[in-house]
Amino acid sequence: MERLLDIRNLKVWYSTYRGFAKVVDGINMHVGKGEKVGLVGESGCGKTTTMKSILRVLDSRKVHIPEGEIIFKGSDILRMNYNEIQQVRRRSISMISQEPSAALNPVFTVGDQIMEVIRHSGQFDKNFSKKDMKSLAIKAIRDVLISDPERIFDSYPHQLSGGMKQRICIVMALVTPRELLIADEPGTALDVTIQDQIHRLLRSLVEEKHMSLIMITHSLGVARELVDRIYVMYAGNIVEAAKTKDLFKNPLHPYTRGLMDCVPRLSGGGVSEGIYGYIPDYINPTPGCRFYPRCPDAKEVCSRQKPPATVATENHLVACFKYN
Amino acid sequence: MDKHILDVKNLKTYFLINKSRDKANYVRAVDGVSFSVKEGEIMGLVGESGSGKSTIAYTIMGMYKPVEGEIIFNGENIINKNNRRSMSFKKNVQIVFQDPGSSLNPYQDVRQILSLPLKVHKIVPRGKIEEKIAEILEMVELPADFMYKSPTSIGGGEKQLVSIARALCSNPKFIILDEPTSSLDVSIQAKIINMLLKLHREQKLTYLFITHDLSLMRNISTKVAIMYLGKMCEVAPTEDFYKTPMHPYTQMLLSSIPVISEEEEALKPKKVVSTGEIPSPVNVPKGCSFHTRCMLSTDICRSEEPIMHQVSEDHFVRCHLYKK
């Protein structure tokens, strides 16, 4: 499959008063054209930081990117000038955030905000009137299964429920043609029944428009239902990458296994012990594997050396000395 | 075992939202809920946000005054005119809140937080408070020197453990857990849940566990109740509840849960697809409040409110489909 996005050895550091927090520690991942990819990890593991660095929306005064490349359609996003990155944001990559009420501006109507996206996309010529824009926006609102788009078009974000607001965010992300959608836990702030609706909607829209999707989530269940391939992230490292089916059939990395054990099952069977310990300090991390202090299978070598990503089976990568 | 520790009968809690000359508008947060909890049970109270599950908890604790109904704890009706709770009730019933960040005073250290209930209920003489605190911290498996820490300097999981320790200070019989793990990661959640189960065994506690996570309830509860718009839809013992979910809303909830194995997938009701959103509790739909989202609704659902039907010994459903 042709690669649309290729992240190579990306490192992202935050500067704090104690020194640099090495939040993203050399990750490699790629997204093919039309592929749906999941990035799964617990809070604070660096998933959102990675995604924000793709769009370069991190605060440049606090963030230092010492190494790495983010190749999007052949050019490196990290080395683009302002105009170039702006073009990528306008035309190619869009993002849905976790908190829909924070993503929408409370002083403009929903319609205004959607029209702004259309206006700045630069994908329409001068003959494209305001009326055409509005009808495009209304059609897009109807596409996300809102039954009365005209009323929603003229309402303010506070007049809508959480699920509706998230639908509007999806409209804004998809109203103009895009190649890649980054969805950052779009269902987390919502109830399960609404979350289920939003996920089904996202999947059908992405498939219909032949886009690529990066789904960030902390829930293995959500990833299993939505994506083709999963990256499991722990403390700034990708610890395992595999096709969804393979990952759930045969999880390899001790962290992935621990995480799966922790999920309470609908079929019963009690609650597991949890994973021993807490996530490590990012400012002075261990020189070896970052999971080493919590790992049940830790060996001596794990404390000294970083485990490289090894191919366990075809298309199944794992960063653990157990499989080296 | 069969002794009822808590009986709630036809509880109604309304909130006034605006009052004009001719009519007053109320949010019917809890609208005629009855249930009972036996000694030693873990009762799960499940519902989406806005269904009134937390309001029930707060009404029991005396934070809200009910409009109507009885709450009987240990054979005594605890609702009185000024809505004050007796000292012995306050000692016997404790609550753990959802967000440990905002329920612990950041200006006090853990020792101060834990010593207040010990002083108020005169559990130990003043000189022995620190000893007792160390003992309670040990119960939740925190080191004794934790008492000199401030809530701002500890992690989310540890904060929740401190909240649980605070609830344990007065040797309660009954603890209300209001979504104690919903803001935590699954690996931390597993630890807290194990701790709660251990305490339940060792201290012979009874829990009212409020949550929106049905898969968690499958693994820990003995009885599950589902709330929708201030009313109870279905109550059943856990085994029965997951084997034969009856109310259409329960089926919708179960079918929306993202799961991680084929085995669980098989347990989800197949034909139910989540649609619509929870209506505003100010304008509750006429008849059955769920009819706007129900796939099986008929004319009677739109006009007549269903009553609780007993389908088997302990299994109750509030739906017209099960009318005999």
**Residue B1 pLDDT class (50, 70, 90 cuts):** low
pLDDT tens-place string over residues B188-230: 899 899 999 999 999 999 999 999 999 999 999 999 999 999 9
For chain A, the structural domain boundaries read 3-317
Of B186, B194, B260, which has the smallest distance from its Cβ to A273's Cβ?
B194
CB A156 within 8 A of CB A106: yes
Residues of chain A with a CB closer than 8 angstroms to some CB in chain B = 42-43, 161, 163-164, 191-197, 199, 218-222, 224-225, 248, 258-275, 278
Paired tokens of B214: 């049905």
Paired tokens of B2: 């069969």
Taking an 8 Å cut-off on Cβ atoms, the answer to whether A271 and B264 are in contact is no
Taking an 8 Å cut-off on Cβ atoms, the answer to whether A272 and B219 are in contact is no
CB A271 within 8 A of CB B193: yes
pLDDT tens-place string over residues B34-80: 999 999 999 999 998 888 899 999 999 999 999 999 999 998 898 88
Which residues make Cβ contacts (< 8 Å) with residue A268, sequence separation at least 6?
B218, B219, B242
Residues in B closer than 8 angstroms to A221, CB to CB, are 257-260
Q: Is the pLDDT of residue B16 over 80?
A: yes
Which residues make Cβ contacts (< 8 Å) with residue B33, sequence separation at least 6?
B8, B10, B11, B12, B52, B56, B69, B227, B230, B231, B232
CA gyration radius for chain B?
21
Choose between B58 and B101: higher pLDDT.
B58
Triad B100, B186, B110: Cα angle to 5°: 25
B4-322 folds as Rossmann fold (3.40.50)
Q: Is the pLDDT of residue B20 over 80?
A: no
How far is residue B151's CA from residue B109's CA, in Å, rounded to a whole number? Answer: 7
How far is residue B298's CA from residue B291's CA, in Å, rounded to a whole number? Answer: 8
ipTM of this predicted structure: 0.86
> Percentage of chain B with pLDDT > 70?
100
Of B155, B190, B275, which has the smallest distance from its Cβ to A272's Cβ?
B190
Triad A68, A43, A89: Cα angle to 5°: 50
Rounded-to-5 percentages of helix, strand, coil across chain B: 35, 25, 40
**Measured on CA atoms in the order A271, A274, B97, A186, is the torsion positive or negative?**
negative
Which residues make Cβ contacts (< 8 Å) with residue B31, sequence separation at least 6?
B12, B14, B52, B229, B230, B231, B284
Triad A283, A287, A288: Cα angle to 5°: 125
Q: Is the pLDDT of residue B2 over 80?
A: no
Q: Is the pLDDT of residue A208 over 60?
A: yes
Mutate to test the interface with B, among A18, A43, A246, A267 (most CBs of B within 10 A): A267
How far is residue B133's CA from residue B116's CA, in Å, rounded to a whole number? Answer: 11
Residues in B closer than 8 angstroms to A191, CB to CB, are 48-49, 212, 278
Of B48, B155, B185, which has the smallest distance from its Cβ to A218's Cβ?
B185
For chain B, the structural domain boundaries read 4-322
Paired tokens of B46: 């499940």
Of B242, B255, B260, which has the smallest distance from its Cβ to A263's Cβ?
B260
Q: Is the pLDDT of residue B290 over 60?
A: yes
CA B107 to chain centre: 28
**Residue B156 pLDDT class (50, 70, 90 cuts):** confident
Helix ranges (H only) for chain A are: 47-55, 82-87, 100-103, 110-121, 130-143, 149-153, 162-174, 192-208, 220-226, 244-249, 254-262, 300-304
Choose between A38 and B145: higher pLDDT.
A38
Q: Could you count the other beta carbons within 10 Å of the beta carbon of residue B26? A: 17
Triad A116, A120, A125: Cα angle to 5°: 115
CA A78 to chain centre: 18
Give CA separation, B30 vs A191, B54, B250, in Å: 19, 10, 19
CB B284 within 8 A of CB A288: no
Amino acid residing at B7: D
- DSSP-derived letter for residue B29 is E
Residues of chain B with a CB closer than 8 angstroms to some CB in chain A = 48-49, 155, 157, 185-191, 193-194, 197, 212-216, 218-220, 242, 252-261, 263-264, 267-268, 274-275, 277-278
Residue B114: closest CA among B148, B157, B82 = B148
Paired tokens of A62: 């606090």
Q: Is the pLDDT of residue B280 over 60?
A: yes
How far is residue B141's CA from residue B139's CA, in Å, rounded to a whole number? Answer: 5
Instruction: Count chain A–chain B contacts defined by CB atoms under 8 A.
Output: 116
Q: Is the pLDDT of residue A149 over 70?
A: yes
Residues in A closer than 8 angstroms to B220, CB to CB, are 271
Taking an 8 Å cut-off on Cβ atoms, the answer to whether A221 and B260 are in contact is yes
Taking an 8 Å cut-off on Cβ atoms, the answer to whether B48 and A193 are in contact is yes
Q: Which helix H or strand E contains B76, and what residues bound it?
A: strand B76-77
Q: Is the pLDDT of residue A78 over 70?
A: yes
Lowest mean pLDDT among A176-180, A257-261, B183-187: B183-187
Taking an 8 Å cut-off on Cβ atoms, the answer to whether B190 and A278 are in contact is no
How far is residue B36's CA from residue B146's CA, in Å, rounded to a whole number? Answer: 37
If DSSP states are collapsed to H, E and C, what string results for B170-197? CCCCEEEEECCCCCCCHHHHHHHHHHHH
CB A45 within 8 A of CB A57: no
Paired tokens of A320: 């653990």
Q: Is the pLDDT of residue A44 over 90?
A: no
Taking an 8 Å cut-off on Cβ atoms, the answer to whether B259 and A194 are in contact is no
To the nearest whole angstrom, how far is the Cα of B306 from the nearest Cα of chain A? 23
Residue with tokens 């006090």: B108
**Measured on CA atoms in the order B136, B141, B143, B149, is the torsion positive or negative?**
negative
Q: What is the CATH number of domain A3-317?
A: 3.40.50.300
Mutate to test the interface with A, among B159, B187, B249 (most CBs of A within 10 A): B187
Taking an 8 Å cut-off on Cβ atoms, the answer to whether A192 and B212 are in contact is yes
CB B300 within 8 A of CB B319: no
Triad A146, A152, A158: Cα angle to 5°: 115
pLDDT tens-place string over residues A165-191: 999 999 999 999 999 999 999 988 888
φ, ψ of residue A36 to 5 degrees: the values are -110, 120
How far is residue B67's CA from residue B31's CA, in Å, rounded to a whole number? Answer: 9
What is the CB-side half-sphere exposure of residue B229 using CA atoms within 13 A? 19
